[in-house]
Chains A and B, each alone.
Chain A
């Protein structure tokens, strides 16, 4: 199983760009990398998914180097409402390789 490792916590200020890196050394050829956001007392919410290089959507970008052993979630210009736990997840076919990391607590300050 592709175990993931993330920083336990990060602090930032409003308006800054935040980059959270996830390590997944044992990622398999067909695995995808996904990121989720979770607020207290809620289920996680999907942010972005990628396989290689760069993926961008309306809320974030995901950078994946050629060896795919790590990935970086980039949140542009964070606000207080981005304070949450962010999870990196390596996902394989049929979910049999779904491994959530312990998550990164992001605190955004004013």
Chain B
């Protein structure tokens, strides 16, 4: 069965802390994505990666960075967390260009205080 896992379901961090959100997929998918989801705004794409060590900015990359050193792992980094980054973070993976079926992880609810 297809699986995308995220390192934490709930996370509480302080303003200014460096935060790492980890995502791992076991499907050998080329593409991986990080979204944030806020009430009334739907899902917004932060970054995506279509290959190891490759990354592209999404709609709202400011304040975030990503790392993809291995195919199965895609990390989202908040260099200096701020309260406006309190949100639900969702990771997804997707096979190659012929299919646009994304597989989502369960999400990490991050609270920055």
**What secondary structure prevails in chain A residues at the interface with B?**
mixed
Minimum CB–CB distance for B54 against chain A, Å: 9
- Report if A29 contacts B (CB, 8 A): no
Closest residue to B105 on the A side, CB-wise?
A: A43
17 extra A-B contacts, CB within 8 A, seeds A95-B48, A98-B33: A1-B59, A34-B101, A43-B105, A43-B106, A44-B43, A44-B90, A44-B92, A44-B102, A46-B103, A91-B100, A94-B31, A95-B56, A96-B56, A98-B45, A99-B59, A102-B41, A103-B42
Q: How large is the interface on B (under 10, 10 to 19, 20 to 34, 35 or more residues)?
A: 20 to 34
| A-B pairs with beta carbons under 8 Å apart, 30 shown | A34-B100, A34-B102, A36-B102, A41-B106, A41-B107, A43-B105, A44-B102, A44-B104, A45-B104, A46-B101, A46-B102, A49-B99, A87-B42, A94-B31, A94-B48, A94-B97, A95-B33, A95-B48, A96-B48, A96-B56, A98-B33, A99-B59, A100-B35, A100-B43, A100-B45, A101-B42, A102-B40, A102-B41, A102-B42, A103-B42
Minimum CB–CB distance for B63 against chain A, Å: 20
Minimum CB–CB distance for A32 against chain B, Å: 5
Within 8 A of B (CB), among A38-97: 41-46, 49, 87, 89, 91, 93-96
